[in-house]
Structure 1
């Protein structure tokens, strides 16, 4: 049977992709941001996942104001890097896994999630930058990818609770897929940042690190954070962190942390990264009693 073996979360800052593409990762400004992914790149080579369910948000590339799905799953054979205004990134075409993607779509829809099924979609930096951070510059991505796009651009975005529950539904779907597959779930975006207005450049290190803390263990406090708290504490783009909760929900009741990285600034944004392993209930430690993220 297919199995979810790990969860990964990371920022998808477009400037990180530029640094990779133009060989700037060893420069003094960028090196500390990239150093936190060295462990993960080595770990991924050992883990050898077959499929990544990659949760991201489109940045007005595949979708615009004419069509805004809350949750959309890519079921195509492949996904071409998009031109975001300066030409497509020179990265490999993303190879999908239609059989598993369709199975997840069917399972989630029957579990009463109204998924939008996408059979053709170009993918932007929200999806390709995390792949570059974990695998570097390669001729072909070493894994198949199922894109899962979430609306966090236009009001109303889904609640953290709904995202967490979708992760649980995805885990159920993967567990019922008959092929033997090593599956990872990635949540991308964030962390705290605001790109416009009087608070442009806002970064909240304390809040971000409490959020990272509570991805580990058995607390589910993160699923109950209201939208207004993300806006107030993490800036207008901090809402992207609800996508991390899809990953966390897919990990089951309890997680253990394998790796963690946090760095600021990177293009006026906080870089966050964490790698989690689901813990079997028989191996779980007692639940911690962490409360809400913000005071």
Structure 2
């Protein structure tokens, strides 16, 4: 049976990818953020997951305002990264896990979710940047990927509870998968930030730290704010916390925080990284 060994939660700011390309990881502006990945690198070397199930939001590469699915799940054998306008290039291709993808799709549909199924899909910085952060200096990604896209762009957005329940449905699907894969779930994006309008540059440290405090022990506490509350608290792009909630929902076992890092700002964004361990899963 498959196991979800843990979860990695991180910002996916395009500027991070540019900093990597320029070798700026040790620059004073970037170092506090990149230093937060040292414990993640050690953990990944020890646990050696086979598959990453990534909850993220597409930035117009696959879906635009005229066609925006609430949830979409990739079921391709391979995926390519393409730059959606930030000047990011050179990311390695991704290998899919189509059998596991189809099992997840079929299982969540049985649980009354209705994802769009994507048998071809491009992956943008929301997946590529976290992969580069987690597995730097590799010739090929050491994990296969199942990408799950949530709409955090075009209203109406899914509610925080719906995002958490989607993650729980995905977690049940992974637990019922008969393959031997060790799975790490990833939630990417955020934390608080707004890129446009009168509140451009908005960061809410108190709300961010509230999320970081509750992510492992009590994700239900984060449901006290509805989607519009989160927009007000965290900024219009701060709703990417929905990706974190979905990934946290997939971790249905005994969850323990192993590492956490918070740094303000990176490209007008409150950047954060969290590593959670998942054990003693309930298979039901």
Contact 1:92 1:138 in 2 (8 A): no
Aligned residue runs from structure 1 range 187-202, under 5 A: 187-202=187-202
In 2 relative to 1, CA 90–128 (structure 1 residues): closer, same or farther, beyond 3 Å?
A: same
CA distance in 2, matches of 1:246, 1:77: 23
Q: Are residue 250 (structure 1) and residue 250 (structure 2) matched?
A: yes
Give the match for residue 17 of structure 2.
17
TM-score when scaled to structure 2?
0.95
Give the match for residue 274 of structure 1.
274
Could you say what secondary structure the match of 1:37 adopts?
A: helix
Structure 2 runs not aligned, ≥5 long: none
CA distance in 2, matches of 1:88, 1:267: 15
CA distance in 1, matches of 2:152, 2:171: 22
In 2 relative to 1, CA 281–106 (structure 1 residues): closer, same or farther, beyond 3 Å?
A: closer
What RMSD, in angstroms, separates the aligned Cα atoms of the two structures? 1.5
Q: How many residues align?
A: 282
Structure 1 runs not aligned, ≥5 long: 283-295
Q: Summarize deviations over 1:203-243 as a string: whole Å, max 9, x none.
A: 11111011110012245211342112211111111001011
Shift of 1:103: 0.4
CA distance in 2, matches of 1:2, 1:228: 36
Could you say what secondary structure the match of 2:167 adopts?
A: helix
Give the match for residue 147 of structure 1.
147
Shift of 1:67: 1.6
Which runs of structure 1 show a deviation greater than 4 angstroms over 4 or more consecutive aligned residues?
none
Q: Summarize deviations over 1:239-272 as a string: whole Å, max 9, x none.
A: 0101101111111265210110100111111111
Contact 1:264 1:271 in 2 (8 A): yes
Aligned residue runs from structure 1 range 1-295, under 5 A: 1-85=1-85, 89-218=89-218, 220-252=220-252, 254-280=254-280
TM-score when scaled to structure 1?
0.92
CA distance in 2, matches of 1:110, 1:206: 38
CA distance in 2, matches of 1:198, 1:32: 29
CA distance in 1, matches of 2:35, 2:54: 22
Q: Summarize deviations over 1:58-95 as a string: whole Å, max 9, x none.
A: 10111112321111011001110112236552111011
In 2 relative to 1, CA 86–12 (structure 1 residues): closer, same or farther, beyond 3 Å?
A: closer
Deviation larger for 94-103 or 35-44: 35-44
Could you say what secondary structure the match of 2:268 adopts?
A: coil
